[in-house]
Amino acid sequence: MKSCWCLLLLLLVGGRALAAAAAYTPPVFTDPDRPAKLRAVLPRLDRLYLEQVAEKHLPGLICGVMVDGELIHVFAHGQAHLGAGRRVERDTRFRIASMTKSFTAMAILLLRDEGKLALDAPVATYLPAFRAVQPLTADSPPVTLRHLLRMSGGFPQDDPWGDRRLADSVGQLEQLVSQGLSFSRPTGVRWEYSNLGYTLLGQVVTVVAGQPYQEFIRNRLLQPLGMTSTVWEAAEVPADRFATGYRWEKGVWREEPVLGDGTFGAMGGLITTIDDFARYVAFHLDAWPPRNDPEAGPVRRATLREMHRPSEVIGVVKDSLAADGREVTRLAAYGYGLSYNQDDRGIVWIRHAGGLPGYGSEYRFLPDHGVALIALSNLTYAPMTALNAKAMEVLVTGGGLTAREPVASPVLQQRARELTLLLQTWDPAVMAAALAPNLFQDRDEADWRLEASTLLSQTGAIRSMTPVVAENQLRGRFRLVGERGSIDVFFTLMPEAEPKVQELKLSFSPLTRG
């Protein structure tokens, strides 16, 4: 009677668990010391930043560390203007160059979400002058907005040329395009960095939105995010708040002319502060993990995650970044205005660098880890990517950086309890409730019973069941602890409305004695 009552209770609990399966619980950080560990390595980061100032001849720089959407640390050093002796302060504004591109991509996706444009529509749909552009091969597809977002339009990498055209007018861009453009490769076959592509996207925003690109970005993105110190023209910045750009040449710093803002600003024109840009990065970080919370930003969280995901492969890269000196291999790819990276340790980071005459910058955020790094400098093409890569490694190795971990769903926990009972009793009611039909089609029930019996003879009487460790909502593992050892249980549920066990793996672990 007691056994039946326990079984009935188990199934009743299971019914409630299945009804609650839709109440998704996002992954969480499980290390209570995580914030303290990250803060403990901040002095090491400051030393790293200071070393780079001297090594790379940086007139000035400012770097920020973000944890869970908060800018917890800022390091500012050096000169915003050498002649005036103005130091870099927290409110000093830097031009961030190609870090602007993600704003352009976000604007395009915002208009897409509003039904005002289609990513797979040809560019000529929105920019008639583009009809003069002939593809490199007869079998190339028309260049679409998606090609431009992913940087697979076929245009050549154009940094030296594009960087000096920042102030071009709309008329100059239209004249440029109407005369035809040159391609370095056929459209849609491979990634190649293109400032021109993002300039064209900016003009699409202007045409579709019916207002200048810069105005649209200000009204629809900057203002909702509270980025009140972010502008397009250096003339809009108080003279004592602007970081003058320099280049290091023949052992001395030479001041770079201030570039104006124009149509090419969509690929690299924004000027901002560390605090303002941190608001933008916090918005991106807040898109993770996916969850049921109400939306609060200018674009949906799903749209941000779409920007982050890899769309076009750049290549496989080997970096010597690990603390033990070994090479770390990573996949580098491009999303929409952002670069996606995942290394062989499973760490994912999203990033973009910026470089213009007088400036170098980079930001990166680790969506699974809830941290971000921002680095801005007033030196031409300052190597901030390398600096942030080193800083990230300090956080990973010294700060014990950990990712969020999945939470076992109610149905996963219920199936684990049923498996616990099933492996010991093979009760028909439990089998019907817990197992998908394929389990005994793929392997005879008699074989499963024999394996379970053999394992139980090794472990002895089962004393306890460990909590389920989830891989996702429908896959996990747990351990049945016995007198002489444990049975490790791995299981996967099927995708039907009532998920049951479709895959099961059992293994024995002997009892370890300290």
Task: Provide the CA 264 distance to its chain's centre, in angstroms.
Answer: 26
The whole-number average pLDDT for the span 325-352 is 94
Query: Number of helices (H) and strands (E), helices first, in the chain?
Result: 17, 18
Residue type, 376: L
Q: Are 508 and 485 in contact (CB under 8 A)?
A: yes
H/E segment holding residue 307: helix 301-308
DSSP state of 234: G
| Residue 307 in tokens | 């920007």
Residue 356 has pLDDT above 80, yes or no: yes
Q: What is the mean pLDDT of residues 7-28?
A: 57
Of 485, 475, 479, 467, residue with least CA distance to 506: 479
Q: Which domains does the chain have, with CATH numbers?
A: 2-25+407-510 (3.10.450), 34-397 (3.40.710.10)
Q: What's the pLDDT tens digit per position in 182-235?
A: 999 999 999 999 999 999 999 999 999 999 999 999 999 999 999 999 999 999
Of 13-22, 234-243, 349-358, where does mean pLDDT reach its minimum?
13-22
Q: List Cα–Cα distances, 502 to 22, 306, 333, 426, in angstroms.
A: 20, 31, 34, 16
How far apart, in whole angstroms, are the C-alpha atoms of residue 107 and residue 215?
11
pLDDT for residue 421 is more than 70: yes
The DSSP secondary-structure symbol of 309 reads S
Q: Output the pLDDT for position 331.
A: 96
How far is C-alpha 36 from the chain's CA centre?
Answer: 24
Q: Is 469 exposed, middle or buried (0-12, 13-18, 19+ CB in 10 A)?
A: middle
157-190 residue pLDDT tens: 999 999 999 999 999 999 999 999 999 999 999 9
Stretch 260-281: mean pLDDT, rounded? 97
Please report the pLDDT score of residue 424 as a whole number.
Answer: 95
Average pLDDT over residues 419-426: 96
- Mean pLDDT computed over 463-467: 96
> Which runs of E-coded beta strand occur in 293-390?
312-319, 328-334, 339-343, 348-356, 359-366, 371-377
Task: Report the distance separating Cα 426 and Cα 453, nearest Å.
Answer: 11
pLDDT in tens, 75-89: 999 999 998 889 999
Rounded to whole angstroms, the Cα distance separating 199 from 161 reads 13
| pLDDT, average across residues 267-271 | 97
Mean pLDDT is highest, among 2-16, 118-132, 395-409, for 118-132
Q: How far apart are CA 346 and CA 351, in angstroms?
A: 16
8 A C-beta contact, residue 463 and residue 483: yes
> Structure tokens of 451?
């394996």
Res. 13: pLDDT tops 60: no
Residue 321: predicted pLDDT: 67
pTM of the model: 0.93
Spatial CA neighbour of 419 closest among 396, 390, 394, 452: 452
How many residues in total does the chain contain? 514
pLDDT band of residue 400 (cuts 50, 70, 90) is confident
Taking each helix axis from N to C end, the angle separating 2-19 and 410-425, rounded to the nearest 10 degrees, works out to: 160
Q: How confident is the model at residue 397 (pLDDT cuts 50, 70, 90)?
A: confident
Percent of the chain with pLDDT over 70: 95
Share of the chain above pLDDT 90, in %: 89
Q: Pull the structure tokens for residue 505.
A: 């793996």
CA distance 150 to 53: 33
- What is the average pLDDT across 114-121? 98
Q: How confident is the model at residue 513 (pLDDT cuts 50, 70, 90)?
A: low
Q: What is the pLDDT of residue 452?
A: 97
Residues 283-318 as b or e (16 or more Cβ within 10 Å = b): bbbbbbbeeeeeeebbbebebbbbbbebbbebeeee
Q: Residue 403, class by beta-carbon neighbours within 10 Å (0-12 exposed, 13-18 middle, 19+ buried)? A: middle
pLDDT digits (tens, 9 = 90+) for 302-332: 999 999 999 999 999 998 766 667 789 999 9
User: What is the residue type of 374?
Assistant: I
